[in-house]
Structure 1
Amino acid sequence: MDGDSQVIPDIPKGNVIFAVPKKGRLYEQCMKLLLGAGLDHIRPPRLDIAECKGLPVTLVFLPAHDIATYVGEGNVDLGITGYDVLQESGEGDNVETVMELGFGKCRLCVQAPVTSAIKDVSVLAGKRIVTSFPHLTKKFFDQFGDDKETKIKYVSGSVEAACGLGLADAVVDLVETGTTMKAAGLEVVAEVVASQTVLIANKSTPHRQLVERITRRIEGHITAERYLMISYNVSLENLSAAQAITPGKRSPTVTQLQEEGWYAVQALIEKKKSSDIMDQLSEVGATDILLFALQNSRM
């Protein structure tokens, strides 16, 4: 990383170098993730580097669209970026997609003016397409044959304005809520790739053991964010029905109570389904239903 030596000076030898987005929509979510995983750090003002406390990990803050390249070339060991950016970089064969992180979900889509009323995306082959993802766009339109050479033009921002300005017949851009797309008078014609934020690692990292330790920490935090522990009492005659409602990640923990014919059950449930699950348990005769938040976990 000679061109960026001012960004990551004097990294301690033996440290894992972990690249995270330096700004934008992913930055705040990544900071919460790192804190939850115990990767506490202090980022000095005006520097794109920070040392973690308690683990030999150096964080470097880089543009999200560069992270896949740095990881793929072995300049850094770990990185967080979008799956769309990873695929666009062409580094897919050089990095390991360690895990999906569950945030930053969006779709890379072919979008055309609503007034064009295009229902079959193949009619855009050979037309003018503006995008920030030229590699993925070319790969997508290549499926329609070499006889229709699609004219792909790269722009770094404001892709959605290209059709209105007469620069393109369609665009390939990210769709999150669709608000920007609709405001520009565009509609989705086809999906190129579904994306979310991913944790990636260089396949040849010399710090495999520490990379796996960091991964377990992140997995534990994500599990704690997504799940709750539910506890309830239920009679033997209703135990099977209750267990079917709360199967847990592997299986529920069942303990016989002193009162004959009654059991205490504990299981992990998805946080977003917790209210419905509590209702269902009540309906099959469970009592003393309690929910407990998780601080962290190792599964």
Structure 2
Amino acid sequence: MRIAVPNKGRLHEPTIDLLERAGLHLENGADRKLYAETVDPDVTVLFARAADIPEYVADGAADVGVTGYDQVQEAAVDGVVDLLDLEFGRCRLVLAAPEDGDIESVADLAGKTVATEFPTVTREFFAERGIEPDVVEVTGATELTPHVEMADAIVDITSTGTTLAVNRLAIVEEVLSSSVRLIAREDVVDDPKVEEIRTALSSVLAADGKRYLMMNVPEDRLEEVREVIPGLGGPTIMDIANGGSEKVAVHAVVDERDVFETITEVKNCGASDILVTEIERLVE
């Protein structure tokens, strides 16, 4: 099973980190290599340009891939399935024009020129609205094109909008919302190894922002504790090994933001020996 991942750029390190946290440790590193073995002898990682990964998956060079949703939409290849939102690399593809210009709506671009690194997505966006601008593909510095009279507007990626503001460009409309996705070729979606990879990655995402809370609670105050623990499906109650104890062990998964308040509340309910730990993976 081959996984194609970004070989560089802002998506590379977060992707490698996610694989490592999911237990797919790379055996021979990830720097300046075309591929790497993992601790799973059946899984190999291939390094490719983020823009090429949908094609790698569609053509069979890789079985699954990790890349931005914007790249998947731009590639417009058949037979590729979006399996999982990996919840990082969030950005927007937006239509923007000079803030002091006369482009205020999508309709204003009829017969005008739009520069972009995403011509497929851009043409589809305008076609859905019945507008036909001249779409010009560029390979960088898209935000400069309106200022050198190459284009009347642009369609470009933005995360915070800072670069657009610096270049005196105003957003006219959002074209696409994107994040990094796990994708797979249609004919391998039901492969057990693909499901194993999807489950491993989703378990890391599910654990983010969660904490495991353990405590001992007097049996006669158990219901009070149940009411104040914002647990995932309710707390787990277990007998304590010491046979004479009048307490039970209570375990629960709680959101990190609730830990401070929860500890105070359970202590008021008589809880003791409270322990809070991080969670690496959570299979729901």
Which range, TM-score by smaller chain? 0.7 to 0.9
Equivalent residue number for residue 128 of structure 1: 113
Matched, 1:85 2:67: no
Q: How many residues align?
A: 274
* TM-score, normalised by the number of residues in structure 1: 0.81
Unaligned runs of at least 5 residues, structure 2: none
Task: Tell me, in whole angstroms, the C-alpha distance in 2 between the residues paired with 1:188 and 1:197.
Answer: 23
Could you tell me whether the CA contact under 8 Å between 1:39 and 1:55 is conserved in 2?
A: no
Task: Tell me, in whole angstroms, the C-alpha distance in 2 between the residues paired with 1:116 and 1:189.
Answer: 11
Helix, strand or coil for the counterpart of 2:88? coil
* TM-score, normalised by the number of residues in structure 2: 0.85
Could you tell me whether the CA contact under 8 Å between 1:74 and 1:205 is conserved in 2?
A: no
Task: Tell me, in whole angstroms, the C-alpha distance in 1 between the residues paired with 2:235 and 2:57.
Answer: 40
Equivalent residue number for residue 235 of structure 2: 252
Aligned CA RMSD, in angstroms, stands at: 2.7
Could you tell me whether the CA contact under 8 Å between 2:228 and 2:265 is conserved in 1?
A: no
Q: Which amino acid aligns with 1:35?
A: E
Task: Tell me, in whole angstroms, the C-alpha distance in 2 between the residues paired with 1:48 and 1:290.
Answer: 44
Q: Which amino acid aligns with 1:47?
A: K
Quickly say closer, same or farther: Cα 1:236–1:227, change in 2 above 3 A. closer
Q: Which amino acid aligns with 2:260?
A: M
Quickly say closer, same or farther: Cα 1:229–1:122, change in 2 above 3 A. farther
Equivalent residue number for residue 253 of structure 2: 268
Task: Tell me, in whole angstroms, the C-alpha distance in 2 between the residues paired with 1:119 and 1:19.
Answer: 40
Could you tell me whether the CA contact under 8 Å between 1:125 and 1:141 is conserved in 2?
A: no
Q: Residue 143 of structure 1: which of 109, 128, 148 is its match?
A: 128
Unaligned runs of at least 5 residues, structure 1: 1-15
Matched, 1:279 2:257: no
Q: Residue 101 of structure 1: which of 86, 110, 114 is its match?
A: 86
Could you tell me whether the CA contact under 8 Å between 2:94 and 2:171 is conserved in 1?
A: yes
Task: Tell me, in whole angstroms, the C-alpha distance in 1 between the residues paired with 2:45 and 2:123.
Answer: 34
Matched, 1:178 2:161: yes
Equivalent residue number for residue 12 of structure 1: none
Could you tell me whether the CA contact under 8 Å between 2:111 and 2:133 is conserved in 1?
A: yes
**Equivalence map 1:17-166=2 (5 Å):** 17-41=2-26, 42-43=28-29, 46-91=32-77, 93-116=78-101, 118-145=103-130, 148-166=131-149
Quickly say closer, same or farther: Cα 1:190–1:281, change in 2 above 3 A. farther
Quickly say closer, same or farther: Cα 1:236–1:217, change in 2 above 3 A. closer
The runs of 4+ residues in structure 1 deviating greater than 6 Å are 256-260
Task: Tell me, in whole angstroms, the C-alpha distance in 2 between the residues paired with 1:283 and 1:113.
Answer: 55
